Amino acid sequence: MSSAACIDALWLPYTQMATAPSPLPVVGASGARIRLADGRELIDGISSWWTMCHGYGHPHIRQAVAAQLETLPHVMFAGIVHEPALSLARRLAALLPGDGKRRLDRVFFSESGSVAVEVALKMAVQYWRNRGQERRRFLAFRGGYHGDTLGALSVTDPGCGFHDALAGYRVPQLFAELPRDAATRDALDALLAAHGREIAAVVVEPRVQGAGGMRFHDAATLAAIRDACDAHDVLLIADEIMTGFGRTGTLFASDENAVPDILCLSKALTGGTLPLAATVAADQVFAAFCSDRGEDAFMHGPTFMANPLACAAANASLDLFEREPRLAQVAAIERQLRAGLAPCRALPGVADVRAIGAIGVVQLDRPVAAGLRPAFAERGVWVRPFGDIVYLAPPFVIEAADLTALTTAVCEVVAAWSRQAPSASCPLSTP
């Protein structure tokens, strides 16, 4: 399969099809490596958009999906339930954080992270309507990204550049800076005080703002957001599409000091094997939908909701978190990322180097990172920088030598860029 032939009928995501180079044809993958049609292997530094936490082709997940395929590959989820979904919902509810006020114990399944966020937004609006209030607006944070569907893009920072073509179509929402200090906490409080009766929920990516720029914040910032929502009687939605399942060093980025009212999961939920997402509501949110009035029911139902194959994969993925030392592996990855990327700090044009869990980031002083992509493939690694960010988010099972190859490649490519000082329109020419 040639590069040219592989795109004859395709329309690729986030790609200007008139000018983009031909994509790399992939024929297989195993562990932390992607195998190309020409026989080369690339070390995957981004886990296929942060999904492959256990690596490609883990035998336990493969066996679970194969067994499920023999019994029940799919069935509608309206008026019918099945054991893989029941088991998965119970296991998620038992694992998610809770406190004396909230228990995240009602799981609504869908197929993608964007839809999980869309479901959360709809739940929040209807929660207030069922309680006799009309609240249709949301407050989100600058630097945040929450998906590509219309509701999800409305709470994505308009400055991220993902949806500029739809600027006149998106629903306007409120945006604030993350409350990292007294001034930004006061600003958030003022926004909620002024608009609290209009706001259905605050939406946040706990600990890491992902596709908006890999920006980190601490647990105290997250707790401040929870406190502000409580003070102004506003729901809190945690978008853990990226951060869920160990990526930041704990199983979930939300904790007992900042339990959300609604939490969204996807990406690593099935270990990257099949599409699946979950929107998990706290008990008091679910209670607002239970009455003798039909109009109080939540009217949303994806066709492939709770697909049994995907649920089987997700249950197998949870087995691996129980049986194998995933969080210890993430801790080791964080240590190696910090050490391996540290040389970039001294390079001209590098604004910051940071790591949390299995995420390592080199931030440049200008948005030229996409031009560096070919240089990584030439070095035998799959890294997809964007904006001003060169980042790594490898599978948790990656071997130390492969992770060293990734961090070395990042340091080499960024150093070469730093010497050449390329413009956004001039991709790096590698040695």
**Beta strand residue intervals within 276-376, DSSP E:** 277-282, 350-356, 359-364
How far is the C-alpha of 429 from the C-alpha of 431, rounded, in Å? 7
Grouping H, G, I as helix, E, B as strand and the rest as coil, residue 106 is strand
**What is the per-residue burial (b if ≥16 Cβ within 10 Å, else e) of 78-97?**
eeeebebbeebbebbbeebb
Catalytic residue among 14, 99, 218, 233: 14
**For 56, which DSSP code?**
B
How far is the C-alpha of 62 from the C-alpha of 29, rounded, in Å? 13
Q: What angle, rounded to 10 degrees, do the helices at 83-95 and 308-323 form?
A: 40
Query: DSSP assignment of 391-411, as one string?
Result: EE---TT--HHHHHHHHHHHH
Catalytic residue among 44, 145, 391, 402: 145
How far is the C-alpha of 349 from the C-alpha of 359, rounded, in Å? 21
Tokens of 343: 């040389």
In the residue annotation, 267 being an active-site residue is answered as yes
Catalytic residue among 127, 148, 157, 267: 267
How many CB atoms sit inside 10 A of residue 339's CB? 12
How far is the C-alpha of 171 from the C-alpha of 30, rounded, in Å? 42
Q: CB–CB of 392/247 below 8 Å?
A: no
How far is the C-alpha of 337 from the C-alpha of 322, rounded, in Å? 25
Catalytic residue among 239, 261, 388, 402: 239
In the residue annotation, 233 being an active-site residue is answered as no
Mode of pairing for the β-strands spanning 174-176 and 137-141: parallel
SS3 content of the chain, % helix, strand, coil (to 5): 40, 20, 45
Q: Which residue has the tokens 């270990």?
A: 271
How far is the C-alpha of 221 from the C-alpha of 207, rounded, in Å? 8
How many CB atoms sit inside 10 A of residue 33's CB? 20
In the residue annotation, 14 being an active-site residue is answered as yes
Residues catalogued as catalytic: 14, 145, 239, 267
